[in-house]
């Protein structure tokens, strides 16, 4: 659990942009957290302490900001990193999952052999992204992890937008951890 003063510091390091990408939206810009060496180090060190006892084999990060946190955490834990990308961005054979957006559909994919280097028959995977809103992308990503032969032991988000109830939906699939609940 983060101490209140650390939570406040991390919250204060996130830029808020009103009416982006459209009117009425309040955008949480984490680029100001990751370019603040103290805030980024606190975030990754906290996550490392949380997950070092989880017997993880891989971190799976959702494009694109999940790559930043996921790769840094995978390095800190000395485990592999697996990207979950938008459709058409991975060069090898993939499996994909469609999900609903407020204004249509989208699709993400993972390499079919993403977890082949695991030492276990069913590797343990942590799913990570910067933010969970409605949960559509995260649920699709968790489904892909399962389809690729691994177990999503938990999903982790830097920010949870509680009013949009994505974390609640995600809890039906796996455990959820978030650093900052807004």
Q: What is the pLDDT of residue 145?
A: 98
Q: Which residue is listed with tokens 């990408």? A: 21
Q: Which residues of the chain have pLDDT under 70?
A: 102-103
Peptide bond connecting 21 to the previous residue in cis, omega within 30 degrees of 0: yes
* CA separation for the pair 92, 89 (Å, rounded): 9
Q: Classify residue 29: in a domain, yes or no.
A: no
Q: What is the pLDDT of residue 101?
A: 74
Q: Classify residue 20: in a domain, yes or no.
A: no
Phi and psi torsions of 74, nearest 5°: -60, -45
* CA separation for the pair 55, 124 (Å, rounded): 7
Q: Classify residue 16: in a domain, yes or no.
A: no
Q: Do the beta carbons of residue 81 and residue 48 sit within 8 Å?
A: no
- Read off the pTM: 0.95
Dihedral (CA of 68, 70, 72, 73) sign: positive
CATH number at residue 83: 3.40.50.2020
User: In angstroms, how far apart are the furthest CA atoms of the chain?
Assistant: 48
> Which domain range does residue 67 map to?
55-181
Cα–chain-centroid distance for residue 110?
14
Q: Classify residue 59: in a domain, yes or no.
A: yes
First to last CA, the chain: 16
pLDDT 10s digits, 86-134? 999 999 999 999 998 766 789 999 999 999 988 889 999 999 999 999 9
Q: What is the dihedral of CA 52, 35, 71, 143, to 10 degrees?
A: 90
How many angstroms separate the Cα of 162 from the Cα of each of 4, 25, 75, 167, 168?
A: 18, 15, 29, 7, 8
Q: Classify residue 158: in a domain, yes or no.
A: yes
Q: What is the pLDDT of residue 21?
A: 87
Q: Do the beta carbons of residue 109 and residue 144 sit within 8 Å?
A: yes
Q: Classify residue 38: in a domain, yes or no.
A: no
Number of structural domains, the chain? 1
Q: Classify residue 47: in a domain, yes or no.
A: no
């Amino acid at each position: 659990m983060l101490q209140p003063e650390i939570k406040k510091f991390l919250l204060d390091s996130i830029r808020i942009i009103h009416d982006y990408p459209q009117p009425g939206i309040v955008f949480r810009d984490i680029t100001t957290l990751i370019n603040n060496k103290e805030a980024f180090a606190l975030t990754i060190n906290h996550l490392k302490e949380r997950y070092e006892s989880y017997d993880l084999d891989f971190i799976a990060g959702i494009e694109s900001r999940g790559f930043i946190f996921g790769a840094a955490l995978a390095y800190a834990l000395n485990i592999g990193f697996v990207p979950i990308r938008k459709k058409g961005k991975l060069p090898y054979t993939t499996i994909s999952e469609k999900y609903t957006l407020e204004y249509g559909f989208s699709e993400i994919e993972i390499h079919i052999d993403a977890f082949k280097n695991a030492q276990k028959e069913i590797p343990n995977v942590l799913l990570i992204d910067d933010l969970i809103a409605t949960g559509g992308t995260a649920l699709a990503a968790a489904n892909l992890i399962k389809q690729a032969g691994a177990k999503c032991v938990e999903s982790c988000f830097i920010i949870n937008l509680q009013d949009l109830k994505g974390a609640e939906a995600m809890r039906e699939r796996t455990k959820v951890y978030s650093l900052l609940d807004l």
